[in-house]
Amino acid sequence: MRIPSGCSKHEKSIIVDRVKGLIFGAIIGDSLGLATEGMTKQQISQTYGDGPIQFGMEESEGIPFLRDSYRSSFDDNDFGGDSEQQLLLIQSIIQNHAFNYKEYAKLLQDYSQHGLQGLQKKPIGINKTSQIVIAHPEFLINPRKAAVEVWQTTNNLRGASGALVRAALLGIPKFWDGTTVIENTTDCCKITHPDPRCIISCVIISTLVARILRGQDLETDDNENNHNNKKNNNRLGTTDSLTLPPTPTDTHKMTDGKERRRVMDDEVVMNHQINVTPPPSSPSSSCYTSSSFPGYLETDTTLMKIVRSVIETNKGILTAPNSDPLFMTPETDATQTQLYYQQLVETCSYFEDGPLDFSFLQLDSMIQGSLKCLHASLYSFTRHLPAGQETDSFKRILMDLVMQGGEADTNATVTGALLGVRLGYSNLPSEWVVGLKRWEWLEDRVEDFCSLL
């Protein structure tokens, strides 16, 4: 996993900042999403009004979490099964110094019974598809076979989105090698979710992450995009500085004369002073009432072109099913997979300039699945974020998404990961990061993972 020289347009410090942003962005999304998981928009309106939902540090404004039978299982600012699957994946990669789907399957089976190692917490919120597959008698021997048998016999679970919460992280190991990224992603997806919609959704997510870490295609020569490129240079990591970015938690760390945060590049530390100024966010700011956040968001044309390019590159998963051994799925109906592809492309064509609005996706409807989760995250990812307002934009987009209900935790986990890798850890809201339950424990796990880079 060591980053080879010249594999990215970004310095190592920027890459590490983006990796941490991805992981914490996903955990924040999952934690916030628990507030409305499984709820309709009508139920959300009755419970939370127009929002915002209270989240983060104790002094934050908003409506407290509903404490019904499901949400009472979680502590304040806690995270659920979506984050824990990501943390389990981190554990697997740390142990093996690479991704191995068979080793991950073993950890997943143990986690389903005992919870995450070192967390002292029962596993709550594992999606139904994964539960059934893990319980299959052949799961440990042949997880792919077990997943296919479940897919073939349980029609109402087809197209589920559970594997997407792992996809973004799989864009990190060997991000400079697109083939490895795709292989790891499909391997991880197919041990629980072999549906072609889930496979292509996961591949799109992980490939986008890899491209962001490489700095690939982040600039274009089109005159129509010049104004966007100038505005986007900083948030896309175009920088010549070797200084490690500030972190959202630097000002909240309690030290005894020793710095808790491990430094990933000793040469950087020896030759450059580390800037530890926290990002411009405040525990008392409201992402719904902030006058600095515009109600109208343009489509970032550069990012939209990258998304379309990734879809085009991997469309064979749906348009030429089972023609590539890497993408083999149990779906043999070519007409059906062509329909899935049309749904994917048509929805992405609706990502236009305008007020931030997820309503066209109908995320709280009974028809859920991986494509809806993918569409929500891609729509969020391709919004143009005004310079200097990245932190407020992160908060506003996630809060608006969570207020849609449905599979809110999964949708927000994937969206948080994509926004996190795009903006970097240094641009995440400090009051949300520090407000996470077990945030110091999480920082240690993430730093251990980043030490492999």
The tens digit of pLDDT for each residue in 186-241 reads: 999 999 999 999 999 999 999 999 999 999 777 544 433 433 343 333 334 333 33
pLDDT at 438: 92
Distances (CA, A) of 381 to 52, 77, 141, 238, 415: 21, 24, 38, 18, 7
- DSSP string covering 389-441: -HHHHHHHHHHHHHTT-SSHHHHHHHHHHHHHHHH-GGGS-HHHHHHSTTHHH
Largest CA distance in the chain: 65
Whole-number pLDDT of residue 120: 81
The residues that bridge with 53 in the sheet, in sequence order, are 63
Residue 373: predicted pLDDT: 95
Is the pLDDT assigned to residue 178 strictly greater than 90? yes
- Return the higher-pLDDT residue of 390 and 321: 390
- Asked whether the predicted pLDDT for residue 246 surpasses 60, the reply is no
| Whether residue 430 has pLDDT greater than 90 | yes
Predicted pLDDT at 322: 86
Alpha carbons 89 and 309: distance in angstroms, whole number: 27
pLDDT at residue number 229 = 40
Q: Would you state the pLDDT for residue 294?
A: 63
Residue 297 and residue 356 in contact, taking contact as beta carbons nearer than 8 Å? yes
For 319, phi and psi rounded to 5 degrees?
-85, -20
Tell me if residue 355 falls in helix, strand or coil: strand
Supply the DSSP string of 9-23, one letter for each residue: SS-HHHHHHHHHHHH
Question: Residue 365's pLDDT is what?
Answer: 79
* Angle at CA of residue 137, ends 87 and 190, nearest 5°: 50
Q: What are phi and psi of 297, to 5 degrees?
A: -120, 125
CA distances from 379 to 60, 175, 218, 294 (A): 27, 23, 17, 17
How far is Cα of residue 175 from the mean position of the Cα atoms in its chain? 16
Contact predicate 178/210, CB 8 Å: yes
Main-chain phi, psi angles of 407, to 5 degrees? -85, 60
Q: 423 near 24, Cβ under 8 Å? A: no
pLDDT digits (tens, 9 = 90+) for 295-331: 788 999 999 999 999 999 999 999 998 888 888 899 9
- Fill in the amino acid letter for 118: G
46 Cα distance to chain centroid? 28
| Cα radius of gyration (the chain) | 20
Q: Which pLDDT belongs to residue 324?
A: 87
Instruction: Enter the tokens of residue 337.
Output: 């997979």
The phi, psi pair for 66, rounded to 5°, reads: -65, 135
Q: What is the pLDDT of residue 292?
A: 53
pLDDT, tens digit (0-9, with 9 covering 90-100), for 82-101: 999 999 999 999 999 999 99
**pLDDT tens per residue across span 94-133:** 999 999 999 999 999 999 999 998 888 888 767 888 999 9
Give the residue from 186, 142, 191 showing the smallest Cα distance to 167. Answer: 186
Q: What crossing angle do the helices spanning 81-96 and 408-423 adopt, rounded to 10°? A: 50
Which one-letter amino acid corresponds to residue 186? T
On the question of pLDDT at 244 being above 70, the answer is no
Q: Cα separation of 12 and 189, whole Å?
A: 28
Read off the tokens for 5.
Answer: 């020289």
E strands, 284-363, are 296-297, 354-355
The answer to whether 306 and 211 have CB atoms below 8 angstroms apart is: yes
- Domains within the chain, CATH numbers bracketed: 12-253+261-450 (1.10.4080.10)
- What does the block give as tokens for 246? 């500030």
**Is the separation of the CB atoms in 15 and 213 below 8 Å?**
yes
Output the pTM of the full model. 0.86
